[in-house]
Chains A and B, each alone.
Chain A
Amino acid sequence: MDWTWFHKFGSPPHVYRLAGRLTPWFAWPAAITILIGLYGGLVLAPPDYQQGDGFRIIYVHAPSAWLSVMIYTTMASAAFVGLVWRMKVAHAVAASCAGIGAWFTAVSLVTGMLWGKPMWGTYWVWDPRLTAQLILLFLFFGYMALRAAIDDPSRADRASALLAVVGIVNVPIIRFSVDWWNSIHQAPSVMKLGRPTMPVDMLVPLLLMLLGFTLYFVAVLTIRLRAEVLRRERQASWLREVLD
């Protein structure tokens, strides 16, 4: 099998150009799907029989929560590739993921709290999912703090990559332990969201939003990746040719 396409990813100029070319291919579909999804979710979908219009925050909440976990997985996979094959570009991908992931985790927490206020009567419940999300946020923070604390870029790359890999092994255990913790401490009646199976006109916009958010993530990732490559390769001669 020909592996040239894979080895090309090790070359910063190639990745820089590729990321630049890919950005519009993700950004535009993201914008369109999110707009359609928002219209479908906020206008077309019927109000929930229990929660009324309050449930509509799910169209931002669920996609961010999904992305936060997916971005951590992406980050850890990229970090793993960087550790094993010593690919600098993979480390750049992981570094670019961290900030986006932390933001989406924060968004999912804030929207979760806003949703909790009318539904549960309080902004914060020690709900297992909210708690796990909070811990995920601290995992992102730890990753970013470690990266910022080490001056030597190559060491910072590998140390933070190792942390991401250790973290991804732990994420399922943390989720399990937190589920177990709260399911014993607290009756789940508060958390019943009255959502047996979602009707199609609610579900389709949600799926569109999931898709749109994911596309948006990839678009932002390509932009941040370019910036990261620029920052790392600021001494390289190929940059002069590209930028001139």
Chain B
Amino acid sequence: MSVVFTILQRDLLLAWRRTAQVLQPLAFFIVVTLLFPLGYTPELAQLRQIAPGVLWVAALLASMLALESLFRDDAADGTLEQFVLSGQPLAALLFGKTVAHWLLTGLPLAVVAPLIGVALGVPSAAMPGIICALCLGTVSLSLIGAIGAGLTLGVRRGGVLASLLTLPLAVPVLVFGARATELSIAGGSPAGALYLLAALMVLGLTLAPLAAAAAVRIGVE
């Protein structure tokens, strides 16, 4: 457990010293969602209908964009190899990295979601549900993404490939997340969809670090 915290601390410190880079996915998320009123219609009533899809597809794309930075620097300077050789459980180390990655790229999306929601005509009563859904869903996206990023280590222009590998696997998150958002906007209870999102997250927390560790092992050899 202390290993996870050490890595978490290290990654957050590194990110703190390069704030601009960390903010890119967040800025991307905001810009993409704000393009929809421009490209579709400024009518709030109509925007409200497509808001779940817009929010979730943008979140999905933003987290794919963020994937590239997950292992890239550590792979380039040999830190990942040292992880593998360190004798510490690799899955725990990578789990720490993934949590840090989520705190930096997933959680901010949930935090700015109310702002975007307002711009898309979402009623404020729906915000708690949307924030919960994005919090739960982005954890799964980061976890799945870690597997994709691990598999494409050392591949030239691995970013696009990592997205191609990861997006089909992220379909359930998209489906349940968008559904929870839609239910919240309609004034219903999003509990069912949120439970399913949470179930996906738990499954991801259990299995994804192991798969990511296996992927990184293959990648750094």
Q: B202: which A residues are within 8 A, CB to CB?
A: none
B171 lies within 8 A of A158 (CB): no
Find out whether the CB atom of A162 lies under 8 angstroms from the CB atom of B164. no
Identify which of B156, B161, B172, B207 contacts A177 (C-beta below 8 A).
Answer: B172
Contact A174 B171, CB 8 Å, known A145-B161, A163-B165 = yes
In this complex, what residue of A is CB-closest to B192?
Answer: A180
B215–A141 contact, CB under 8 A?
no
Q: Give 1 or 0 for each of B135-153: 1 = CB within 8 Å of chain A CB.
A: 0000000000001000110
Contact (A158, B218) CB under 8 Å given A150-B155, A177-B175: yes
Cβ–Cβ contact A167 & B169, under 8 A:
yes
How far, in Å, is A205 (CB) from chain B's closest CB? 34
Q: Which of A141, A163, A170 contacts B151 (CB 8 A)?
A: A163
B218-A159 in contact (CB<8A): yes
A169 touches B207 (CB 8 A): yes
Task: Identify whether the interface residues of A are mostly helix, strand, loop, or mixed.
Answer: helix
A97-155 with Cβ < 8 A to chain B: 135, 138-139, 141-142, 145-146, 149-150, 155
Complex Cα distance, B196 from A178, in Å, reads 13
Do the beta carbons of A173 and B172 come within 8 Å of each other?
A: yes
Residue-wise interface mask of A (165-192) relative to B, using a CB-CB cutoff of 8 A (1 in contact, 0 not): 1110110011011101100100000000
Secondary structure of the B contact surface, majority rule: helix
Cα(A102)–Cα(B179), bound, Å:
30
Selected from B152, B169, B176, the residue in CB contact (under 8 A) with A146 is: B152
- B196 neighbours in A (Cβ, 8 Å): 177, 180
Cα A203 to Cα B215 in complex, Å, equals 45
Q: Are B151 and A178 in contact (CB under 8 A)?
A: no
Q: Is the CB of B147 within 8 A of A178?
A: no
Residues in A with CB closer than 8 Å to B215 are: 159, 162
Tell me whether A166 and B211 are in contact (CB under 8 A).
Answer: yes
A17 to B200, CA, bound (A): 45
Smallest CB gap from B178: residue in A: A181
| A-B residue pairs in contact (CB < 8 Å), sample of 24 | A135-B168, A138-B168, A139-B169, A142-B165, A145-B164, A146-B161, A146-B165, A149-B158, A149-B161, A155-B218, A162-B147, A162-B211, A162-B218, A163-B151, A163-B165, A166-B147, A166-B211, A169-B207, A174-B168, A174-B171, A174-B172, A177-B196, A181-B179, A184-B179
Known: A177-B175, A181-B179, A184-B179. 9 other contacts (CB 8 A): A138-B167, A145-B164, A149-B155, A150-B154, A170-B169, A173-B200, A173-B203, A178-B175, A180-B179
